[in-house]
Amino acid sequence: MTVFVLGGRGFVGSAFVRLLAARGVACEVISRDNWDALAEQPCDVLINAAGNSKKFLSDRDPASDFDATVRMTFESLHRFKFGRYVLCSSCDVYDDFADPSRTRENAPIDSARQSRYGFHKQLAEQCARYEAKQPLIIRFGGFVGPGLKKNPIFDILRGGPLWLHPDSRLQYLHSDDAAKIVWQLIESDRWGETVNVCGDGVVRLADVIARVGHPVSVQPESPTVHYEINIDKLRGWMTVPRSEPAVFAFVDAEKQSPRG
């Protein structure tokens, strides 16, 4: 089997590259430098982990966000010769993150209540469903892992500023665990499925701050958010790591690591 990873040098994509290397699976990382050359070569599976992950960009520069997520997905679907297609999307497609009944994979989504970031992710999903044969669409939640450069856990580790209220509750997976889960879905032939891949349960940011053990500045009037994405489908197929232990193990390791 040969796998191409679009965005394989990024935070999420690099987790797939590490996993495939460890398992001896032939893997090529697609970049702008080799895009044209690899477009001429067939692959069994194309994993698209290259969509924009900077949520602020969608409101600050909507056209750039659209290009980085929707247009890039469309181009990858048309340029590459793949057997199967995996799209790394986001649970931000939902219009209500706190209600598990509204975040089932088949729940109706009200576009008028979506963020622009989530709307663009949903458009990319629609492109994949239209252009690819039974694509596997993964709606990811939050992450910790090697190379983390943004999100509330990153902010807490560096003392802030934290842009969410400490009472916020969020779901997290280690990026390496996320890659393993997706690969298990691939090996189980879950083609045509849309799957929420998020940590089981939530972790409160105030508890992470306490675990880190140093002061963290909080931006005034930061919102309190609650993500409770439904993972019943995924739990029916496999055991899902819990959010709090994943985050605590990561911050414990980071506290022991020298920072450059």
User: What is the rounded average pLDDT of the residues 70-98?
Assistant: 97
- Whether the predicted pLDDT of 73 surpasses 90: yes
Domain with residue 234: its CATH number is: 3.40.50.720
Q: Rounded to 10 degrees, what is the CA torsion of 187, 190, 194, 198?
A: -40
Would you mind telling me the total number of residues written for the chain in this entry?
Answer: 260
As for how many domains the chain has, the answer is 1
Query: Model confidence at 259, in pLDDT bands (50, 70, 90)?
Result: low
Q: What is the pLDDT of residues 137-194, one digit of tens each?
A: 999 999 999 999 999 999 999 999 999 999 999 999 999 999 999 999 999 999 999 9
3-state secondary structure of 20: helix
CA dist 126 → 132, 135, 189 (Å): 10, 10, 20
- Whether the predicted pLDDT of 258 surpasses 70: no
pLDDT at 51: 84
Tell me: cis bond preceding 161? Omega within 30 of 0 counts: yes
H-helix or E-strand containing 83?
strand 81-90
Question: Closest Cα partner for 162 from 171, 152, 150, 170?
Answer: 152
Q: Where are the alpha helices (DSSP H) in the chain?
A: 11-22, 35-39, 55-60, 62-66, 72-79, 116-131, 152-157, 175-187, 205-212, 232-235, 243-256
3-state secondary structure of 185: helix
Note down the domain range covering 25: 2-256
User: What is the rounded average pLDDT of the residues 234-259?
Assistant: 93
Q: Rounded to 10 degrees, what is the CA torsion of 9, 11, 16, 18?
A: 70
- Whether the predicted pLDDT of 260 surpasses 50: no
Share of the chain above pLDDT 70, in %: 99
d(CA 8, CA 29): 5
